[in-house]
Structure formats: C-alpha cells, structure tokens
Amino acid sequence: MTKFKAAIFDWAGTTVDFGSFAPMGVFIKAMAEFGIEITIEEARAPMGAAKWDHIHALLHVPLITRQWVENYGKAPNDADVDAIFKVFVPMNETVAADYSDLIPGTIETIADLRGRGMKIGSTTGYTRSIMQHVLPVAAAQGYRPDNLVCSDDLAEGRPGPFGIYKCMVDLAVYPPAAILKVDDTAPGIAEGVLASCVTVGLALSGNAVGKTLEELAAMSEPEIAVLRDHATRLLKAAGADHVIDSIRDLPQLVTQLEAHSS
C-alpha cells in the first residue's frame, strides 16, 4: 500500500495525444473561420484551461485583439467568444478520436498505481461532448479511469480547484496531500495546487514541448534537454512539486516519494 490514495490525470498530453496536437490544431482552424490568424505558439499558450476560457484568453492577446478590431470594428466580447466556441467544439469532436492514442507507459503506470492501492481519477479542459469521442478509443486500448470531470461539468474549470474536489467526492479520497495531480499544462498544475494536492508536471509528452514521439526520437540529447528545461520552468512556475518526462516515469517518482516519507 502507498501513502497516496489517488492519482488524478489530465488527458491530452498526459495520457493520450503525445504532444497535445488535437486542441492546438482546432484552435487555429476555428479562429481562421472568423478571419483571425494565430500561430501555433499562440494557440498553445493557454492550453489546459477550459476551452471557452482558452478562446477568451486568445482574443485578449493584443495582436489577436487588433486583428479582431480590424475585421469587425470593435473589441471582442463574451458573445464573440461564444460564437467561436460553438464552432470550436464540433471541430474538436470530429478530430478528437484521431488523437487518442495512449502515451507510451500509460497502461503500465496505471497498473502499477492500482497495484499500490491507488484510485485513478481524471479531469480535462475538454467538454464532455468532446470526451465522448475520446473515451471509447482510450478504453479500447485498456485505459479506463475511475472517473472523469469535464470542463463543462462545473461552474468553473481550470485553474480553479473544483474539478479536483469533484474527483475527491467521486473517488471518496482525502486529504488532498494524499492525492497526486498529474498534468502537462500550467492551468492543470494550478488546479492541483489550489486543491492542495501533490502536483506532478510532465515535461516532454505535453503541450509545452509539442513534439511527436518520432520528432523527439530524431533529436539529440542536448536538443531534448533544452526543450525539457523550458517545459520544466513553465510547470515549476505554475507550482509543480515535481517534474518528470512523461507518465512512464511516475511509478519511479512515487517509489522515491514513498522512500523519502518513510
């Protein structure tokens, strides 16, 4: 048995979709529907937040706001966010299943944690309608967490702590210090911090690096180290207690934390 009672995982960039490509591409396409050009870096910057909040953040980036004003003669408002969100969600529903391959090590890590007596929760910045396309693909590969909390299940999404609180109720686990929150984004780490969980950031598999497995495999160790350091700084700045490369490395970290506490 472990001192940790549960691990709560994010989805894209954490357990599925190595590099977190599905949402990034859809943000670019959805904004283009409204005549707004955004870069990959701009699309990725607010990643991890609820998708409505993500769009809101994008529209308030000065260069993007300027494009909106030039196109529509006024500053963007919440109604404009609503309009883009209505386009974004169906687009993401369409592609989500195509980006639902499990990140290597997920099945083995979940089995390890369950073998220690831990429950497996999950939260996401995706809406439940999007996750309905992801869940069966993940399940077919053997990943079935004990619960799921989506961005539109509660009044406030990430970086607020309510998704974690809902997991605690669903899984019947407490206190927060006995729960690991595992995520590849700053808002997802902040969610865990605000709920007083032990937070674990994932550097190489997620949004901050944004590379495929094949792209990483073609890079040298010094090149990878630069990417790792960049992602680690972002995750640490968000409050991550620990940062590892990917979900594959979590069992080793848990073992180390166990040894340290004994």
pLDDT tens across the length of the chain (262 residues): 578 999 999 999 999 999 999 989 999 999 999 999 999 999 999 999 999 999 999 999 999 999 999 999 999 999 999 999 999 999 999 999 999 999 999 999 999 999 999 999 999 999 999 999 999 999 999 999 999 999 999 999 899 999 999 999 999 999 999 999 999 999 999 999 999 999 999 999 999 999 999 999 999 999 999 999 999 999 999 999 999 999 999 999 999 999 887 5
Distance separating alpha carbons of residues 6 and 87, to the nearest angstrom: 36
Q: Helices marked H in 75-161 — which ranges?
A: 78-96, 106-115, 128-140
Tell me the whole-structure pTM to 2 decimals. 0.93
Distance separating alpha carbons of residues 232 and 245, to the nearest angstrom: 9
Q: Which residue among 3, 5, 17, 51 is the active-site one?
A: 51
Q: For residues 161 and 154, is the Cβ–Cβ distance under 8 A?
A: no
Question: Is 51 noted as a catalytic residue in this protein?
Answer: yes
For CA atoms 137, 142, 144, 150, give the dihedral sign.
negative
Q: Which residue among 10, 17, 53, 184 is the active-site one?
A: 10
Structure tokens given for 149: 């909390």
